[in-house]
Amino acid sequence: MHADTTSSRKADHIDLAFLSQVSETDNRFYYEPVLQPHSKDFLNPLNFLDCELGAPIWVSSMTGGTNHAKIINQNLAKACGKYKMGMGLGSCRIILDDHTYLEDFKIRKYIGDTMPLYANLGIAQVEELILSGKIYKIKELIDKTEATGLIVHINPLQEWLQPEGDRISQSPLTTIKELLNKTDLKIIVKEVGQGMGPESIKCLMQLPLAAIDFGAHGGTNFAMLEMLRGNEIRKEVYEPLANIGHTAAEMVDIVNEILNESKNYTCQNFIISGGVKNFLDGYYLTEKINAMAIYGQASALLKPAKESFEMLCEYLELQIRGLAMARNFLTIK
């Protein structure tokens, strides 16, 4: 290395040392610096949802049907194609009967033919379509978005908090079972930021789902978002509801407990999402769960995806390199 470069780095060290004091230790990991060399900055491919993925990262369902949605979705899909990752579309309700915004959701050409791309509907719409004998519309939706399957988001708390929200007339479990019985679609079920408790998780694990996506508490919170849209008194009365839910870490423990009791569950594929802020969170949670899992992010990816494709790629590349490093030197406690 050139002597000038070394000298300038040493000068930086002296200048920055006082600013570089840390007082918190992340106690989730053992750091083992002695046992491995540096590896290459890439990850081994993994198999998930019958696809070979290049990274254990999933783009959680977000947008469509607004001004910026098309570009954001294209950026996300192109990045998924480039790094071989899967993606959920935002709610496709808006294109069930009307094609004004269809282009926002037509991103198969960007993600490529082989990557998982899932359409998305809320449980209330799925219930309504089933009860009105229009389940064919779900199949049409899969065809027009060229999706691999369907994500159903189950969000009764969010809907309840919306003054204009939908009300469901049967349990989400009943609706999902009917959907599975009446179609041969690949189905993923998710929450949208509150997570799910043990009985719900256990019931879902008994079904032939492609995966269960946590949508856990601790990140974007739609209960809070709905309150921010409403008036002050409503906010004051219902605000504590935003604190209800289950974090991704708690849900991992719940899944592990369920699997400790019995390995006999039909669905053991998980997308760990909701409040996954960075690759260390993702690494920790996917290592800790005793099942096949990748991690999902929504808001963390939305930020760079809104800026540009290049920024999104940089953000993802940094995560992938971070994961490769973590695999070498970090084990979970």
Ligand X SMILES: Cc1cc2nc3c(=O)[nH]c(=O)nc-3n(C[C@H](O)[C@H](O)[C@H](O)COP(=O)(O)O)c2cc1C
Burial of residue 249 (number of CB atoms within 10 Å: 0-12, 13-18, 19+): middle
Q: Pairing between strand 187-190 and 211-213?
A: parallel
Which CB, 45 or 197, lies closer to ligand X?
Answer: 197
* Least distance in angstroms from the C-beta of 215 to ligand X: 4
Beta strands in the chain (DSSP E): 29-31, 46-48, 51-53, 57-59, 86-88, 117-122, 149-153, 187-190, 211-213, 269-273, 292-297, 330-332
* Least distance in angstroms from the C-beta of 260 to ligand X: 26
Distance CA 163, CA 235 (A): 12
Which CB, 162 or 299, lies closer to ligand X?
Answer: 299
Which CB, 185 or 264, lies closer to ligand X?
Answer: 185
Which CB, 42 or 165, lies closer to ligand X?
Answer: 165
Whether 120 and 91 have beta carbons less than 8 Å apart is answered as yes
Which CB, 2 or 295, lies closer to ligand X?
Answer: 295
* Least distance in angstroms from the C-beta of 114 to ligand X: 23
Which CB, 258 or 276, lies closer to ligand X?
Answer: 276
Which CB, 268 or 273, lies closer to ligand X?
Answer: 273
* Least distance in angstroms from the C-beta of 261 to ligand X: 27
* Least distance in angstroms from the C-beta of 277 to ligand X: 8
| CA end-to-end span of the chain | 37
Residue nearest to ligand X (CB): 219
Whether 212 and 188 have beta carbons less than 8 Å apart is answered as yes
- Which residues here bind ligand X, judged by CB under 6 A? 60-63, 90-91, 120, 153, 190, 192-193, 215, 219-220, 273-276, 297-300, 302
- Name 150's bridge partners: 119, 187
Which CB, 43 or 72, lies closer to ligand X?
Answer: 72
The H or E element that residue 14 is part of is helix 3-16
The H or E element that residue 108 is part of is helix 108-111
* Least distance in angstroms from the C-beta of 93 to ligand X: 8
Q: 108: which residues sit within 8 A by CB, 6+ positions away?
A: 77, 117, 145, 146, 147
Number of Cβ within 10 Å of residue 252's Cβ equals: 23
* Least distance in angstroms from the C-beta of 32 to ligand X: 29
Residue 157, by phi and psi: left (phi above 0), alpha (psi -120 to 50) or beta?
alpha
Between vectors from CA 147 to CA 111 and to CA 205, what angle results, nearest 5°? 110
* Least distance in angstroms from the C-beta of 243 to ligand X: 15
Amino acid at site 319 = Q
